[in-house]
Amino acid sequence: MPVAFGPDELRFQDAVRAFLDEHLSADLRRGAALTPGVFAEPDIARPWQAILEARGWLVYHWPVFAGGPGWSRVQRWIFEKECAEAGAPALPGMGLKLVGPVLYSFGDEAQKAEHLPRLRSGEDFWAQGFSEPGSGSDLASLRTKAVRDGDDYVVTGQKIWTTQAQHANRMFALVRTDPEAKPQAGISFLLIDMASPGVTVRPILSASGDHELNEVFLDDVRVPVTNRVGEEGQGWTIAKFLLENERGGSSFGPGLVADLRRLLKATGPLRGELATRAVRLSLEASALEMTELRTAIELDAGGPPARRSLITKLVASEIRQGVDELAVDAFGPAGLQLPVERPFYGSDMPAPIGPAAAQPAAARYLNSRAWTIFGGTSEIQLTLIAKAAVGL
């Protein structure tokens, strides 16, 4: 299958590169390069979000009817590739990638009018309230309950591993509205104001010392019924739609290829076993990148989603961990430094030991252990592949 871009794709690629050269500042690039986790801090993510929104490219993956630019899947891939190569910060995915598509697909007109503009402007920062203690991969067993009381639901329960909830003023959550129904049938999808009485956020520090995760306690929190998306009991259907976006809504390959290239530039030539690992990872990342591009080309041509797309998250997780493990080993003792100060691009950070890229290496390695857990564990992914692709 040919993968060479035609004139239209090349012109688009040139336009994206020119835009990034002009608008992606050195400070934003540096902040992204020294971010050890999956998600950028708001102080670099929000400025980049505003720049893209002003250009009309923020919600590049949304359809035209919802305010997107109408790009093809190949154009989206090119944009993600160029952003990765340029070192752009990650965008706030919980809002733009997850709840945004839910709102324009399942929300009523009032919900769309209230939340979508504020999501795009950055006025609203969203967290995801799905996982609970004992209800992670088995999400249907969740126990947070919402009892109808007039025009409100009274919500009681606990959410955990809630990414960047310390920054969020909104949270979308799955709650149990019918305890008598079958597990999947009794779940609804609510939009919760984090400033509501009864909402408590407590930090969970990762092994690296980073604060990306939290637990959220909901004690008799009143949520207007008008903040329910879809019908009562439709939450499981909406959640499946959302999780498909989480697991496969963006390309992984371009970021992995770019990160490995930057790593090898920082370490210099590797030898022996390290060089062998670098070559293997480079080949795997490039193969994943071309697999994602091939899938985008097929979808643009009207073909059905290929079964191979089921493997991308699983493969990307393993490559991500391999790249971060290689970094720690390649930097040697400098790759083991783990300062407690955050962010790594802050003015009060101690001077790095060795190359600047070595300073976040240990934190990045520890954080990437979660890649085979979040968004569906590797075991869950293997089960999906076995059922849908192999027919077991």
Give yes or no: residues 228 and 314 share one domain.
Answer: no
Is residue 118 assigned to a domain?
A: no
pLDDT band at 3 (very low <50, low <70, confident <90, very high): low
Is residue 109 assigned to a domain?
A: no
Q: What is the mean pLDDT of residues 361-379?
A: 92
Give yes or no: residues 256 and 223 share one domain.
Answer: no
Is residue 238 assigned to a domain?
A: no
Taking alpha carbons only, the member of 375, 390, 334, 392 closest to residue 137 is: 375
Q: What is the CATH number of the domain that holds 23?
A: 1.10.540.10
Q: How distant, in Å, are the alpha carbons of 208, 246, 294, 327, 335 from that of 31?
A: 18, 24, 32, 18, 19
Q: Which residues 6+ apart lie within 8 Å of 226 measured at CB? A: 110, 111, 151
**pLDDT at residue number 367:** 97
Is residue 220 assigned to a domain?
A: yes
Give yes or no: residues 223 and 136 share one domain.
Answer: yes
**pLDDT at residue number 310:** 82
pLDDT at 126 over 50: yes
Q: What is the mean pLDDT of residues 88-109?
A: 96
Give yes or no: residues 386 and 249 share one domain.
Answer: yes
pLDDT digits (tens, 9 = 90+) for 198-210: 999 999 999 999 9
Give yes or no: residues 228 and 134 share one domain.
Answer: yes
Give yes or no: residues 254 and 297 share one domain.
Answer: yes
Question: Is the separation of the CB atoms in 256 and 278 below 8 Å?
Answer: no
User: Alpha-carbon dihedral of residues 45, 50, 55, 59, nearest 10 degrees?
Assistant: 60
Q: How distant, in Å, are the alpha carbons of 142, 245, 342, 346 from that of 94?
A: 20, 10, 22, 25
pLDDT digits (tens, 9 = 90+) for 237-276: 999 999 887 665 689 999 999 999 999 999 999 999 999 9
Give yes or no: residues 285 and 225 share one domain.
Answer: no
Is residue 295 assigned to a domain?
A: yes
Q: What is the CATH number of the domain that holds 327?
A: 1.20.140.10
Is residue 293 assigned to a domain?
A: yes
pLDDT at 381 over 90: no
What is the Cα–Cα distance from 193 to 278, expressed in whole angstroms? 46
Give yes or no: residues 354 and 322 share one domain.
Answer: yes
Is residue 239 assigned to a domain?
A: no
**pLDDT at residue number 247:** 60
Is residue 315 assigned to a domain?
A: yes
Give yes or no: residues 204 and 253 share one domain.
Answer: no
Give yes or no: residues 356 and 250 share one domain.
Answer: yes
Whether 246 is catalytic: yes
Give yes or no: residues 284 and 378 share one domain.
Answer: yes
pLDDT at 319 over 60: yes
Taking alpha carbons only, the member of 258, 251, 252 closest to residue 84 is: 258
pLDDT at 1 over 70: no
Give yes or no: residues 276 and 385 share one domain.
Answer: yes
Selecting among 246, 284, 292, 325, the annotated active-site residue is 246
Out of 61-70, 110-119, 371-380, pick the least confident: 371-380
Quote the domain boundaries for residue 349: 245-390
pLDDT digits (tens, 9 = 90+) for 60-93: 999 999 999 999 999 999 999 999 999 999 999 8
pLDDT at 333 over 60: yes
pLDDT digits (tens, 9 = 90+) for 128-187: 999 999 887 788 999 999 999 999 999 999 999 999 999 999 999 999 999 999 999 999
Q: What is the CATH number of the domain that holds 222?
A: 2.40.110.10
pLDDT band at 2 (very low <50, low <70, confident <90, very high): very low
- Number of domains comprising the chain: 3
Q: What is the mean pLDDT of residues 203-221?
A: 97
